[in-house]
Amino acid sequence: MDKFKDECGVFGIFGHPEAANMTYLGLYALQHRGQESAGIAASDGERVRVSRAMGYVADAFDGEALAQLPGTIAIGHDRYSTAGDSKLANAQPILIDCAHGQIAICHNGNLVNARELRDDLVRQGSIFQSSSDTEVILHLYARSRAANVEDAIVESVSQVQGAFSLVMLTRDRLIAVRDPHGFRPLAVGRLGDATVVCSETCAMDLIGATYVRDVEPGEVLVVSADGMRSLKPFPPAPLAHCIFEHVYFARPDSYVFGQSVNEVRTNLGRILAREQAVDADVVVPVPDSGVCAAMGFAEASGVPLRMGLIRNHYVGRTFIQPQSAIRHFGVKVKLNPVRSILEGRRVVLVDDSIVRGTTSRKIVKMVRAAGAKEVHVRISCPPTISPCFYGVDTPRRADLIAATHTLEEITKYLAADSVAYLSLEGLLSAVGAERQSYCSSCYTGVYPVAFPRDEASYLQLALKLDTEAVTRS
Ligand code: SF4
């Protein structure tokens, strides 16, 4: 589907006899945050072991693989990557052994100065195993002359800029770090005597853990046999929680940044209905991403909600498009219209976002072909006009339809009767009093953390480092 892609989900647990099994389940709940590769590292107090594989976590691990990861501390990672750098070397956790001992790391986010740091490190003799920006942190850590592990972590993380929610594992401790802006979520919970950290609270629900609080922006949380210690080594910075987590990325059953995703997302739909009302017979969500907003839209508008599009949940990476008679399946593989709901009706089609517009165009066509009399597209966020530099895979500005086309042109391209977006004010009001804490750069083009290069080379070189490796060698 034509969506922004999140980069990763992270999970960590300390003090549980089945740490690797719990991590497996946590990654399972966070699978929506990354499907390219999955990995788990575990420590039995003597040694850290890691296992990583391409694909979904359920395919990457079986009982035998988990049995090879004994210990009471574990971390795990679901990774999304672009096609070019989808390879096992970039899967996480990344494990190294250095003067400070073994350390494994998982990262959700994107480091805006990774390229500069990497170039410096390579000049000084570092040899990188992967093209991931995360490895930069490990090289800085390995080179640190700090007296202990915690100081070395603080020293290395202090040098990186951008978005990072990190979970790290040493022989005897779990460390969670969140960048001072708090771009990506990271929550802390309890499971009996064990401590859990994870990208979204839905991972806690699955294993029966209880949410306690978020890792605070700029906090380094160290969990060891001595308990939990909180360090605040970074200078404070303006908060910049990613508002797109509420719009699309996070699961609606999660709490992120201390707020219910379901409540915020439904609110987006309510506000959208008030801002962009239209005479219609039925509200139809584009599943699954448009469902919460469509419910809010239906509630606020009084127009009934019906599931006029049904999603096939079993379409995965392994789908092979037949070469024979039926070609160009496109979106039809994933969605099928319900004619009895759509035929002869004026339809409000609610989705969370439009990126390139290619999928939306096919969906409008599909709804019309099923007999809809009118199709009015309503989008529960403002026009996406700028790429993200903070851990989300986005196309270049030139490929974002809202950056290059007027609303009239978009309406014509989608072949819709009308297209309307939520306003920026509407988006921010959906998160309530916390509105000042959010990043909304992909809607404004105003970025809270500067990135050092022009957009084209940044997107190519920093987010897609494999391309860089090829072109520079
Ligand atoms: S630019 Fe958009 S997607 Fe990226 S962190 Fe900000 S709100 Fe999130």
Helices (H), 158-290: 202-207, 244, 261-275
pLDDT in tens, 190-199: 999 999 999 9
pLDDT in tens, 413-444: 999 999 999 999 999 999 988 889 999 999 99
Using DSSP, state whether 196 is helix, strand or coil.
Answer: strand
Using the mean position of ligand 1's atoms as its centre, give its distance from the Cα of residue 268 in Å.
Answer: 17
Q: Is the pLDDT of residue 316 over 80?
A: no
Please give the number of the atom of ligand 1 that sits closest to the Cα of 245.
8
Please give the number of the atom of ligand 1 that sits closest to the Cα of 440.
7
Using the mean position of ligand 1's atoms as its centre, give its distance from the Cα of residue 32 in Å.
Answer: 17
Q: Is the pLDDT of residue 473 over 60?
A: no
Q: Is the pLDDT of residue 312 over 90?
A: no
**Bridge-based pairing state of the strands 73-79 and 8-14:** antiparallel
Q: Could you give the C-alpha distances from 464 to 42, 86, 115, in angstroms and in order?
A: 29, 10, 11
For the ranges 145-149, 215-219, 319-323, the lowest mean pLDDT is seen at: 319-323
What is the C-alpha to C-alpha distance for residues 251 and 255, in angstroms, rounded to an integer? Answer: 9
Cα maximum dimension of the chain: 73
DSSP secondary structure, 330-366, as one string: GGGGTEEE-HHHHTT-EEEEEES--SSSHHHHHHHHH
Q: pLDDT grade, residue 315 (50/70/90)?
A: low
Please give the number of the atom of ligand 1 that sits closest to the Cα of 184.
5
Give the residue, by CA position, lying nearest to ligand 1 atom 5. Answer: 242
| Average pLDDT for 234-240 | 94
At residue 461, the pLDDT reads: 40
8 carries an active-site annotation: yes
At residue 460, the pLDDT reads: 43
pTM (global) more than 0.85: yes
| Average pLDDT for 223-249 | 95
| Average pLDDT for 321-340 | 73
| Average pLDDT for 212-236 | 96
Q: pLDDT grade, residue 332 (50/70/90)?
A: confident
CB within 8 Å of 433: residues ≥ 6 apart: none
Using the mean position of ligand 1's atoms as its centre, give its distance from the Cα of residue 442 in Å.
Answer: 5
Q: Is the pLDDT of residue 101 over 50?
A: yes
Query: Which residue in 46, 89, 90, 44 sits closest to 67, CA to CA?
Result: 44
Structure-token match 């202990």, residue found: 148
At residue 5, the pLDDT reads: 67
Query: Which residue in 309, 310, 305, 307 sits closest to 281, CA to CA?
Result: 305
Please give the number of the atom of ligand 1 that sits closest to the Cα of 163.
5
At residue 472, the pLDDT reads: 28
| Average pLDDT for 356-376 | 96
Give the residues surrounding ligand 1 with Cβ less than 6 Å away.
183, 242-244, 388, 390, 392, 439-442
Query: Which residue in 98, 129, 131 sits closest to 114, CA to CA?
Result: 131
At residue 314, the pLDDT reads: 73
- Phi, psi for 271 (deg, rounded to 5): -65, -40
Q: pLDDT grade, residue 112 (50/70/90)?
A: confident
Q: Is the pLDDT of residue 255 over 80?
A: yes
Using the mean position of ligand 1's atoms as its centre, give its distance from the Cα of residue 387 in Å.
Answer: 8
Q: Is the pLDDT of residue 82 over 80?
A: no
| Annotated active-site residue in 8, 106, 242, 292 | 8
Q: Which residue has the higher pLDDT, 108 or 470?
A: 108
Mean pLDDT, rounded, of the chain: 90
Give the residue, by CA position, lying nearest to ligand 1 atom 4. Answer: 388
Q: pLDDT grade, residue 453 (50/70/90)?
A: low
At residue 286, the pLDDT reads: 97
Q: pLDDT grade, residue 275 (50/70/90)?
A: very high
pLDDT in tens, 370-419: 999 999 999 999 999 988 888 887 778 888 999 999 999 999 999 999 99
Look up residue 106 and give its two tokens.
């998982």
Q: Is the pLDDT of residue 273 over 60?
A: yes
| Average pLDDT for 289-302 | 97
